[in-house]
Amino acid sequence: MGKKKSYGSLVLDITLSGLGGRVQKRTGYSNKKDLTQLREAIKGLHSRGEYGLLRLWIDDKVSNHEALKAYQTGLVSSDYLMRGRDLLTSLEEWGSSSQYVPENHRVHHHLLNRYKTDLEGQALGHCPEVLRSIKTRMTDEEPTSAFNALRKLCLSYVRNNSEDGTGSDIYQGIRKVAPFPVSSHRTADLHRPFDVHNLDHLCDLHNIPSHGQDWIWWMCLHGLRPKELWVDGWEIKTEGQLEYLEVYGQKTEGSRRRLPLFMTPPSPDVIPRTTVRTYLQRLGRSLYDTRRTAQVWWDNSRVPRNVIARWAGHDARKTMTELYLLQDDLNWIREHRAKVDIWLQTQMDISNVSKDADTFSPYSSRDEIGSKRSAASLQDIKNRLNAILEEWYNSDRKWMNNRYRVDHLVGPLED
């Protein structure tokens, strides 16, 4: 018999051998007819030997409605057996499985770490509710792309591990949690790279905080795609004395690459995407303009175009193995990173003609650019100019017919 509680919820009192004996479970029903139907359903499932489903029902991981549906249809969806699995553990195992290429394992690891406190202790059956809770509490400072990536990972896991595939209740529940739409307030894509001379002045003019200026400089120096910076992942590595940036890009085969580390990151945590996007909008720029800026600066530094393509992640040469390509990156970093340093230093201050190009180390802050070296002598400047003239004379384009040299310099600089 059902016992009626003072607050109106009937309790089902039933004995289930093999499941701990007597079970007393509050049903949430106030109608005795509903309670009788549930009792018949539970007895029927028990007689069929559906112990796994009943254990989930006892633990509140399968609802009364779902238990009734399983009894009436005679079908037990694999969803019911999946519901009790630990959500975080299931996603961790799936994210590191052979279903994904190795570089994606790291991306999934960072993604799950970001939402670890939300996922811990949750059952897989509650995945839609967990996603809905995360989406509700998200602030404007958090990247919407990370939430969308988590939602995709959950859909992928359920689709591939449920017998019902995309028709499973859990999958459909996740789908009902809509992803964040693509931002509708993007700055018009005008292809406007920054000028190294007035970037700081422009930031000051539009009241960009110092921390924001630091990250804009960092983005302009390294040219990562927005998704690579905030989702795919990257890290600083060393080989001997060489410090470089390893980028785990996913867009093309050439997106996984290594490039010079020109400046140490301004902070351990990357500036939020929405924050830097707002700053760039004040400057009349888009996120991608920082990437274009890097490529323009590298080109102005006389870095070869094929090296620029590789640093930007454009060059996916299918005839080479990835290992060979990545090793090639390190050789190019050693050979060409100083060119960018020389160009930046001389653009900020013409007297900074490099005398120690082979001993480059990353800038500790943007303030070092233009003030890193002591002023060069007139002889240093003359030697540098003569080297450029000689390079022009020997170039393949043959536009300079006569060989020229600088023999004497007159100016305010003192030797």
Of residues 9 and 297, more confidently modeled: 297
Task: List pLDDT tens digits, range 197-206.
Answer: 888 888 988 8
How much of the chain exceeds pLDDT 90, in percent?
17
Q: Is 13 helix (H, G, I), strand (E, B) or coil?
A: strand
- According to DSSP, residue 120 is labeled T
6-10, 213-217, 295-299, 336-340: the lowest-pLDDT one: 6-10
Judge whether residue 82 has pLDDT over 80: no
CA 118 – CA 115 distance, rounded (Å): 5
Across-strand partners of 86? 123
Which pTM was predicted? 0.45
- Nearest CA to 277 out of 187, 205, 182 is that of 187
How confident is the model at residue 247, as a pLDDT? 93
How confident is the model at residue 6, as a pLDDT? 43
By the 10 Å C-beta count (0-12 exposed, 13-18 middle, 19+ buried), 317 is classed as middle
Structure tokens at 253: 């085969």
By the 10 Å C-beta count (0-12 exposed, 13-18 middle, 19+ buried), 55 is classed as middle
163-177, 304-318, 355-369: the lowest-pLDDT one: 355-369
Average pLDDT on 61-75 reads: 75
Reported as a pLDDT band with limits 50, 70 and 90, residue 81 is low
Residue 59 has φ and ψ, to the nearest 5°, of -85, 10
Structure tokens at 60: 């509140």
Question: What b/e string do you get for 18-44 counting C-beta neighbours within 10 Å, with b at 16 or more?
Answer: eeeeebeeebebeeeebbebbbebbeb
CA 178 – CA 169 distance, rounded (Å): 16
Reported as a pLDDT band with limits 50, 70 and 90, residue 327 is low
- Nearest CA to 413 out of 386, 373, 378 is that of 378
Across-strand partners of 73? none
Instruction: Say if CB 79 and CB 162 are below 8 A apart.
Output: yes
Mean pLDDT (the chain, rounded):
78
Reported as a pLDDT band with limits 50, 70 and 90, residue 398 is low
CA 264 – CA 254 distance, rounded (Å): 24
Residue 4's alpha-carbon distances to 24, 40, 57, 68, 109, in angstroms, are: 12, 19, 20, 21, 49
How confident is the model at residue 167, as a pLDDT? 78
Average pLDDT on 52-72 reads: 77
Residue keyed to tokens 């959500």: 87
Average pLDDT on 2-15 reads: 67
